[in-house]
Chains A and B, each alone.
Chain A
Amino acid sequence: MKFVVPVAIFVALALIPLLAAVGVHVPGIVTLIASRVMIFALAAMSLDLIMGIGGLPSFGHAAPVAIGAYAVAVCDAAGVQAAAAVIPAALAAAGLFALATGAVALRTRGVNFIMITLAFAQMVYFATGSLADYGGDDGYTLSARTTVFGLDLLDAKRIYLTTLVVLIAVYVLLRVIAASRFGRALAAIRQNRGRVQALGIDAFAIELAALVIAAMIAALAGVLMANQAEFVSPAYAAWGRSGELMVMVILGGLGTLHGAVIGAAIVVLAEEGLGAVTQHWPLVLGPFLVLAVLFFRHGIVGGARR
């Protein structure tokens, strides 16, 4: 029973390429939006590891996404498109970023943690904007997409399926981590940090490791995002992005992991759908979020489970 909802979500996402394979016409916009949903879901899911399971509300999770995206741009400018170089570069850069900023941010709790993670993300935002070699504020258009062992797995046709596979693999990985001794310790720290310390567990080290893991997954989302848009800009690190990721996790259901997919779908569809009707679409999404927090304290997935 536990896996009915996540399996249903992934089957639904797999239907799009399946239908196309049997000759049903799927409009390009549907595939495009669905792959956007999946890429955001990947980033939101990694945020759920630290925010939902670990209780660390990072308001700067767009930063590692942007770092992953800029790794693609930097490699592209150097004429490197091989994923074997791009992905390790993205993961290492985001991992180091999380290690350094996390070591500082973890000295604080609660609202202070939110503010300091936001501050670090803003630094990334302005730093990327000052990268004149990569377009500065205007951003950077990729000369070519990343290739995986010489295969064009990230071209416009195949990026959907590749993203789906990555999303499922990351979901399984995060489920395994959540159920492990590490995951148990992380969830325990959220419930009562002092108690866990008193048992002899180094809470700081566990939290820092979780931040690094989450940042690396977010960087992977950034690599996919850059390839999908064939464009990278400081907007990837904008604070609004970090906020959107938080909204996705909270709407979907904190700590559920697959709830992040549903949350991402709602936010992306609201942006696309309501955005077509009015440019003031956040006016609709805002009250909706308030209602969700009031009546679905455990998110849509958590609320349905109860």
Chain B
Amino acid sequence: MPSLRRTHFPAWLPLLFLSAMAAVPAFSQASDLQSSPPNTEPAPAQSEPGEWAGFWGLELRAFESESVSGQEDQVGSLILEPEYFRQWNDGRDRLVVRPFARLDSEDDERSHFDIRELYWQRLGKRWQLDVGFRKVFWGVTESVHLVDIVNQADGVEDPDGEDKVGQPMVHLGLTKPWGRLDLYLLTGFRERTFPGADGRLRPPIKVDVDAARYESGAEEGHIDLALRWSRVLGDVDLGVSYFRGTSREPLLLPETRGEALVLTPFYAQIDQLGIDVQATLDAWLWKLEAVSRWSGEPDDPTPGFGDYLAAAAGFEYTFFDLRGSGLDVGLLLEYLWDERREQATTAFEDDIFVGARLAWNDVQSTELLVGAAFDVDSDAAFISVEGSRRLGERYELELRLRAFVNPEPDDPLSAFAEDDYLQLSLKRYF
């Protein structure tokens, strides 16, 4: 069933969702009569009209080196991410639809369409229910996001993995005196995307996404569970999370397919316990994220498959309004550690991240984040620059620079050794 696996999400899910949506307004109107808060005026019976927002943009990437496999050094893209929002029942019911599309000049895999969000939300006073495709973020650190596990990374978008595809879910959030509890039933798995043969920032060996394998017999139909408790305790924000289900991060297993060597994604069943803490003390932000991950077969000799601990900890200190200029300069330092060391599936297993965040606080909201992760045991480093500036009222210019310096041959980033690049994008918001 390879063609089915290639679909970004099970086809029946949106249909189920939309049919559920059709039933909602009747239900909402009925409950509205009972649950109007006493102090507000009667909720208007008519629903508010929907609103469109979002952006479209142009993106240019220029790679410093020629590629080893004949891909282009300059790549252009068109991107579109509209958002439809509608609320009714006095704002207690909402519908959010946010598709995403990219048209890439070179890579057919990077040209893609996705449903980033498509959900119905019901808000109560101390609870919320969401049904559909959503994005969820957990965590506090800047350089890596260990705890954040609900959404699959959209691997063709950016090597930083911060672009996520929508996750089908039923989410119940409860605000209690003892904290916030978020329960997630994750009703379907999204495979990670990889750049195609004509794309850069990919392994030299083809990733055969059509042949992806799963530990679970249910494959992408496996239903995952996630829960998170979070609480604010004075200056400290604390979160504890647990995930049980299909690993978002595939192991890439080298296999021969006929004559050719390919990498086959393998999605294991895992448990992950995570903790994230931030203490906010004056201009200091002290941060810690740690995860313990285990899988069914702790003694499995496959590299990267097994039980491990990983952590990231550090601080951000900000000099606000430097010399009365309005400029904020934040200094970041984080230490990144993974128990698996050389066997780790991440490049950041024993690394020090240093960075600076500059915010001019001007009319154009000009910002720059410069950072580098240095491997403690070698000369390897990953350098990242991200900048943005508003132009006029509706345009935004973004700059990204990424460099992979001296990666070790066994480093997951070694595949990108010739893929240093500069990216400029112009977005128009509507």
Answer yes or no: are A and B bound together in one complex. no
Q: Which residues of A contact B (CB under 8 A)?
A: none
Q: Which residues of B contact A (CB under 8 A)?
A: none
